[in-house]
Amino acid sequence: MSSQTQATTVFQFTQTSTVSVKREKVPKASPVRRVVVIDGCNVISKCSDRSYSIHTSNNKFNALPILLMVHDLIKRKFEVFVTIKEFFMSPKTVNYVFALEQLRAFEVLHVFPDAVDDDRIILNTAKAYKGSIISNDKFRDRDDGEFGAEKARRMGFRYDADPNYFPNVDNAGKPESKFLFGLKFDYPDLNTKGLCFPGDPDYNEVKKIYDTVGELYLKRIMSITDLMASYIQREQCYALKVRCPPAPFLLPNDMPDFYLYLQKRQSYEARTGWDKK
């Protein structure tokens, strides 16, 4: 190699730097909530005589246990389906039937003809959604093996008919007393049978279903149950002659029926922007 070539040759050195890569921890999979199918006929039949009703002179069923149970589960962020027969959708047979009508309007409650086998509907719905069932009916007449997994995820419920949960002159007018319907539910298996855990064979399917449940949906159903409880609380206070928490969309001493109350509240919310909060 000539000296001229040596003089014009450029040697380039590439400096390599050591880069430390920080590994991000992959979050562990968490349990997800299953859809809960409520056996509405079972709940309303078992609990009606234990719950509050201003209509003490008759012997009707009562819709308030279903309203309370839906509120309990939506508050815990479970998607809920309620099944019930047409028999229970009449004011001739059920007090506070407007609660069932409103839950039906928002597709939380599903009504079937009286002649339909509602047990099969409940089990089929739970099967389709990989869901759990709330009922004190153990479906013993379904021993053909078709619904083994669904029956295994059936959750019973307990309820206390305690004076502490019943509206009276001392507690009815308090804002936190809105859901005092005379009873309180307990769901012993909700944190086991109501959840799907990583490693369960249907985990991916259940998670996919639960991921479609939006916060907006849960918030909307909560607002509907709150509205109905607010109206019932006004009725309680009116009957007990105690002051009720103020409702700015009503006039003093105004005691409308539920649908007028609903109309006035919706008008107030639209006027003030309350529904956008």
Residue 7 has pLDDT above 60, yes or no: no
Buried b (16+ CB within 10 A) or exposed e, 104-122: eeeebbbbbeeeeebbebb
Angstrom distance (rounded) from CA 46 to CA 116? 20
Q: For residue 275, how many C-alpha atoms fall within 13 Å in the half-sphere facing its CB? A: 11
Coil/strand/helix, residue 249: coil
- Local structure of residue 164 (DSSP, 8 states): G
Pairing, β 109-112 against β 80-85: parallel
pTM: 0.86
What's the CATH code, domain 32-245+259-272?
A: 3.40.50.11980
∠ at Cα 100 (153, 264), nearest 5°? Answer: 135
For the chain, domain boundaries = 32-245+259-272
Residue 24 has pLDDT above 80, yes or no: no
Nearest alpha-carbon partner for 231 in 261, 208, 207, 203? 261
pLDDT in tens, 203-258: 999 999 999 988 999 999 999 999 999 999 999 998 899 988 888 888 877 888 99
For residues 138 and 86, the model is more confident at 86
User: How far, CA to CA in Å, does 253 sit from each of 53, 232, 241, 265?
Assistant: 21, 15, 11, 15
- Please give the average per-residue pLDDT across 127-151, as a whole number: 90
Residue 58 has pLDDT above 90, yes or no: no
For residues 78 and 29, the model is more confident at 78
Residue 9 has pLDDT above 50, yes or no: no
